[in-house]
Amino acid sequence: MAKKTPLPASMDFYQDNTKLKWVILVVSVLISAGSIYYTDRLVDQLKKREKQQVELFAKAMEYAIVEDFNTNVLFVTEEIINKNHSIPIILVDDSGQIAFTRNVDVDSTRSEKKIKEQLDQEIQSMTETYEPIVIELRDPTINNEIFGTQRLYYKNSALLSQLIAFPYIQLSVLAIFGFISYLAFNYSRTAEQNQVWVGLAKETAHQLGTPLSSLMAWVEVLREDHDIKNKGIVDELDKDVRKLRVVTERFSSIGSTPVLKDENVYQLVNNVVGYLQPRVSSKINFEVYTLSETIQARVHAPLFEWVVENLCKNAVDAMGSSGTIAIKILRGSDYKVFIDISDTGKGIPKPMVQNVFKPGFTTKKRGWGLGLALAKRIIEMYHEGKIFVKSSEENMGTTFRIELMSA
């Protein structure tokens, strides 16, 4: 049986994170569905009860109309007809005249015609919800013969209507609240992350500063020392100290607000290639293409070089021992400059593409997963540009694109 290689901790974290999002989504949907279902059942029961009430009301009307006036009729009128304080009803007689309304809001200051119009509209809307109940008027003195009919229109009480709308209002309010909390939480998390980035970078630059200045002084001392015959060693030492200075400058720039200048992009890219080429396998080719060697963009040189270096290092890692890194510098429309960095490496699987810029995401044994997060931060926050995976195909290679504003 094939042995399963465990995922690096940071990848696990991103998968758990997506899982957590799904769990939250599913639980929210279940709660919403449950809440709607439960209120729906309440609404059903209340509807039934209101229907029974209206039917009882209709029966009471029938009784009260045909019976001679007596105490029973008084009871029915008092206890049933007058006690309906919630269900809106309109009673219409044979000739279409409105005989009686209850719990229907009519503005009595309006003209009779207007009131009639309003009630007609009300009847129309009541018919759309419930069929009217037909009340047959029988004369007990002549064999219960029907001497007329009336129609009782009704609709849901205000309470019932509110109950129907309740879960939707409740869920909308909760959704809006959830969304605002999410934004606030995200904002404070980003602010916190920014503080960590900036603080750590400043501290690193600060700590490197002191030994670096003394190293520079020592190199000068060695250069002056006539006892040292092999000055080549001093030159190499000087190069490394210079590189350390560049590193310190990068950390110090990311910890402050870097000033952008018009710089020759072709030149900067070549600086990085010149630095990296002797340090990687000789079977890795670097190729830099451009139609104009004078293309300029607004950049902070040390930080921009750091980004290109990170992308090239990733490309080298993706290719193993041999391959080609092609860097194309292009002029785009709308004052844009594109820098495309392509490799012939193993590519990035599609589902992984969305994670590569997240801090801590790595597939490497000795990776920190910070290279691309830093690159994104430098390009997007300090240069107001863009950086993204332009294309990637497994076992064929990957192209990253940087978009900058031209000078």
Of 48-56, 95-103, 254-262, 338-346: span binding ligand ATP (CB under 6 A): 338-346
User: Packing angle between helix 231-254 and helix 158-224, nearest 10 degrees?
Assistant: 160
Binding mask 307-336 for ligand ATP (x = CB under 6 A): ---x---xx--x------------------
How far is Cα 401 from Cα 406, in angstroms, rounded to an integer? 15
Q: List all residues 6 or more positions away from 317 whose beta carbon is below 8 Å from its beta carbon.
A: 345, 364
C-beta closer to ligand ATP: residue 90 or 319: 319
How far is Cα 90 from Cα 68, in angstroms, rounded to an integer? 24
Residue 302 binds which one of Mg ion, ligand ATP, none, with CB within 5 to 8 A depending on kind?
Answer: none
314 is a contact residue toward Mg ion (CB under 5 A): yes
Q: How far is the CB of 308 from ligand ATP (least distance, A)?
A: 13
Residue 148 binds which one of Mg ion, ligand ATP, none, with CB within 5 to 8 A depending on kind?
Answer: none
Residue 189 binds which one of Mg ion, ligand ATP, none, with CB within 5 to 8 A depending on kind?
Answer: none
Of 49-57, 127-135, 344-352, 366-374: span binding Mg ion (CB under 5 A): 366-374
348 is a contact residue toward ligand ATP (CB under 6 A): yes
345 is a contact residue toward Mg ion (CB under 5 A): no
How far is Cα 89 from Cα 127, in angstroms, rounded to an integer? 11
Q: Which two tokens stand for residue 19?
A: 């899982």
373 is a contact residue toward ligand ATP (CB under 6 A): yes
C-beta closer to ligand ATP: residue 87 or 303: 303
150 is a contact residue toward Mg ion (CB under 5 A): no
| Number of Cβ within a 10 Å radius of residue 166 | 15
Residue 53 binds which one of Mg ion, ligand ATP, none, with CB within 5 to 8 A depending on kind?
Answer: none
Q: List all residues 6 or more positions away from 145 whose beta carbon is below 8 Å from its beta carbon.
A: 138, 139
Q: How far is the CB of 310 from Mg ion (least distance, A)?
A: 6
C-beta closer to Mg ion: residue 113 or 366: 366
Beta strands in 178-334, from DSSP E residues, in sequence order: 261-264, 284-290, 296-299, 323-332
∠ at Cα 136 (135, 138), nearest 5°? 140
For the chain, give the number of residues: 407
Question: Tokens 């200045």 map to which residue?
Answer: 213
156 is a contact residue toward Mg ion (CB under 5 A): no
363 is a contact residue toward ligand ATP (CB under 6 A): yes
C-beta closer to Mg ion: residue 8 or 148: 8
**From the list 361, 378, 401, 402, which residue makes contact with ligand ATP (rule: CB under 6 A)?**
361
Residues 284/316, Cβ–Cβ less than 8 Å: yes
**From the list 157, 248, 252, 362, which residue makes contact with ligand ATP (rule: CB under 6 A)?**
362
364 is a contact residue toward ligand ATP (CB under 6 A): yes
- Give the full edge-to-edge strand order of the sheet including 386-393: 284-290, 323-332, 336-342, 397-405, 386-393
How far is Cα 125 from Cα 145, in angstroms, rounded to an integer? 32
C-beta closer to ligand ATP: residue 116 or 328: 328
Beta strands in 212-278, from DSSP E residues, in sequence order: 261-264
Of 221-229, 319-327, 365-373, 393-401: span binding Mg ion (CB under 5 A): 365-373
How far is Cα 374 from Cα 342, in angstroms, rounded to an integer? 19
Q: How far is the CB of 306 from ligand ATP (least distance, A)?
A: 11
302 is a contact residue toward ligand ATP (CB under 6 A): no
How far is Cα 358 from Cα 17, in angstroms, rounded to an integer? 12
362 is a contact residue toward Mg ion (CB under 5 A): no
Q: Provide the CB-side half-sphere exposure for 78 (13 A, CA).
A: 7
Q: How far is the CB of 162 from ligand ATP (least distance, A)?
A: 54
**From the list 398, 401, 403, 404, which residue makes contact with ligand ATP (rule: CB under 6 A)?**
398
Residue 114 binds which one of ligand ATP, Mg ion, none, with CB within 5 to 8 A depending on kind?
Answer: none
∠ at Cα 8 (7, 9), nearest 5°? 110
How far is Cα 306 from Cα 375, in angstroms, rounded to an integer? 8
How far is Cα 380 from Cα 395, in angstroms, rounded to an integer? 29
Beta strands in 125-194, from DSSP E residues, in sequence order: 133-139, 145-154
371 is a contact residue toward Mg ion (CB under 5 A): yes
353 is a contact residue toward ligand ATP (CB under 6 A): no
Q: Which residues bind Mg ion (CB under 5 A)?
A: 314, 371
Q: Which residues bind ligand ATP (CB under 6 A)?
A: 310, 314-315, 318, 343, 345-348, 356, 361-364, 367-373, 398
